[in-house]
Structure 1
Amino acid sequence: MSASTSGGPTRAVVVDDSRFMRTLIRTLLEDGDVDVVAEASNGREAISVVGEHRPDVVTMDIEMPEMNGLDAVEGIMNECPTPVLMLSAHAEADADVTFEALDRGAVDFVTKPGGEVTSGMPRVKRELVEKIQSAAAVDLDATRGRSRPPTADTNRRTTPDTAPSASSKTDLPEEGSTIIIGASTGGPNVVERVLASLPVDAGLRVVVVQHMPKGFTKRFAERLDARCAYDVREAEDGERIAPGQIRIAPGGSHLLVTADRAGRLALELSDDEPLHGVKPAIDLTMASAAEVVESPLAGVLLTGMGRDGVEGMSRIDRAGGHTVAQNEETSAIFGMPKRAIEAGCVDTVAPDGRITDETLRGITT
């Protein structure tokens, strides 16, 4: 059963302008032991209903009359801060709006139930309820009030003002050092801040596994590319990854790091079954990197619920790599990092603003 902070079932408010969709979501949630305490048909009504009922979590549609979901998220965060889970359509056009909702304070998103409901009801219900549980567990104090990093000039070189303190010209990691970053709920904005602060002169190879549905990771990569001085793209099967490149694991595929006979790193997509209920799985990417990467290697595990990444961090640690976990105070959900720390495979625990420094420090030669 999904539990609220008061010890009872998780209490949710469902916001959607479609009566059919509100009824469907209510049914799915109540079948998963989530208590739907109220509904709203537009953003303005949502702000009022959330203030009245004080739920643990809100499911929020994007396109609604009178006030859309973006403005409603902002209003809720200003008047009655509550974790908001966005319901986004599969369409790529919705991806940009969804990321904007995360910027305004939403904690996560899930694809809105559609035509697959009749054929895949158990899967749809499980995904929605799990996302509700995860969103309800978010520590808003750890996520609010953080500014987005400035858009990066992709031609810039690092300067004393832009480079992390650990990465002065004489202390840069060896070119071609590899970093594997794993994140889940609350991760996109943290990933953005970490990548935006990587020094260009380091020539790093970075692989990011962010739990995210298929259809959104390409837009996530494009968004990061506009805010980072590295070349950021969604990973493709069989491509080599070179210094100065960041690749994002595609939603719906596992991503493995491999090496050819010359020792050059490449990326391989796998259609294996989900691991820990997720695809891509952080564990698989980290474990594969630990097997083949011979240059300095670091694993970074950020905010998220569950234990994905724990085994991967252990593999990197055993292979002699450096491991960094986000601390509790700045994690939206201190689940994955906590389990890795408890497993004894983390070298450094750091707040999100120090993740880059501590990662670079561990792979500096």
Structure 2
Amino acid sequence: MRGLITDLLSDGGIPVVGEAANGKEAIEVVKDVEPDVVTMDLEMPELNGIEAVERLMAERPTPVLMLSAYTDDDAEVTFEALDKGAVDFFAKPGGEVSMGVSRMGEQLVSTVQTVADADIDRSILDREDRRARRSRPPESSKQTAFEHPHTVVIGSSTGGPNAVERVLESLPSGDCRVLVVQHMPEAFTARFADRLDAASEYDITEATDGARIGPGEGLVAQGGRHLTVSNYRRGRLRVKLIEDDRGYTVQPAVDVTMASAAETIDDPLIGVILTGMGADGADGIRAIHTAGGRTIAQSEDTCVIYGMPKRAVETGHVDDIRDLDEVSAAIAEGNA
């Protein structure tokens, strides 16, 4: 697998300056050659990927891309690696060693380039903030509830899982209908929904075709399918899943969900773009703003990757730019 990944990256114009057979060796190699980015497997002898990432963040902070198999167990461990400081993950098909990875060479090269551009200092600060929040006792009061329930569509990519969690854990309980579109493979979105459900006061699940939600409920777009709002009536919305990629390079795409929400929902609507690479969400933000909704983008200073928010802001259709910890407050201000 190391040889295959080395060949794929080298063919893609990314020089591989070192290799390691286990987590312990990886830490020493990183200290020695000081790479721009590290690809790290989850399962390794002597020191596994979780432990190695944690030590790297403490001893020689470097952007890390985790390599994860398409299994429920690996999905759980992958999110733990993100908690420890990894920037993103790449899901490899077929288990530990698979030539299927070779068919995903272009995607791997692109993902490595994205992770190399990540603001590692921002990622470390986010990790420390999460630890501090989890060590504090629960707040005795929440923000002021909405006068009228809103629909909130949140889009994100690289750095997004932790950013979305931070936004949802602070939202006023029971007042919004929430749709989350995170660029993530199919095997991981159900576990992501479980994490958001546990972190917030909302009832959040992975989207299924025809699912309905009302105030206090949320859906996470299923990996490999676009999520559209197909119907909205009496404060409840219904979604439809679309397997056709519709020409988009990512699936689910934020643009698809936001555009359908703007077209279907006639009550208060808020679009939010968080950290991530690329331009997905820019057209969706434009659609929501044009339909009279409120639009919010995460600030550059608090993004791990300031790509999606930047492109959204450049449309001229973003109403508010906020630091990550202020995004939930900005959503609540839609009540005014």
> Is this a same-fold pair by TM over 0.5?
yes
- The answer to whether residue 324 in structure 2 is matched with residue 352 in structure 1 is yes
Deviations 1:15-71 (A, max 9, x none): xxxxxx100111111111111111001111111101111111100001111100101
Amino acid at match of 2:273: L
Following TM superposition, where does structure 1 have runs of at least 4 consecutive aligned residues deviating by more than 3 angstroms?
A: 113-122, 149-153, 260-264
- Tell me the TM-score normalized by structure 1: 0.86
Q: Corresponding residue for 1:197?
A: 170
Matches within 5 A, 1:1-365: 21-114=1-94, 118=99, 121-122=102-103, 124-146=104-126, 147-148=129-130, 149-150=133-134, 161-163=140-142, 167-168=143-144, 172-201=145-174, 203-259=175-231, 264-273=236-245, 275-361=247-333, 363-365=334-336
Describe the SS at the equivalent of 1:257: strand
Describe the SS at the equivalent of 1:284: helix
Amino acid at match of 1:195: L
Contact 1:183–1:210 (8 Å) recurs in 2: yes
Identity of aligned residues (%): 52
Deviation for aligned residue 1:162: 4.3
- Tell me the TM-score normalized by structure 2: 0.93
Deviation for aligned residue 1:173: 2.1
Return the structure number with greater helix share. 2
Deviation for aligned residue 1:121: 3.7
Structure 2: stretches of 5+ with no match in the other structure? none
C-alpha RMSD of matched pairs (Å): 2.1
Contact 2:185–2:223 (8 Å) recurs in 1: yes
Deviation for aligned residue 1:277: 1.4
Deviations 1:195-225 (A, max 9, x none): 1111115x21000000011110001111111
Aligned residues: 331
Distance 1:226 1:364 in 2: 25
Amino acid at match of 1:356: S
Contact 2:232–2:265 (8 Å) recurs in 1: no
Contact 1:275–1:281 (8 Å) recurs in 2: no
Amino acid at match of 1:341: V
Q: 1:119 to 1:70 in 2, by over 3 A?
A: closer
Distance 2:86 2:45 in 1: 19
Contact 1:152–1:229 (8 Å) recurs in 2: no
Distance 1:121 1:274 in 2: 25
Deviation for aligned residue 1:150: 3.8
Structure 1: stretches of 5+ with no match in the other structure? 1-20
Describe the SS at the equivalent of 2:321: strand
Amino acid at match of 2:149: G
Contact 1:310–1:336 (8 Å) recurs in 2: yes
Contact 1:151–1:227 (8 Å) recurs in 2: no
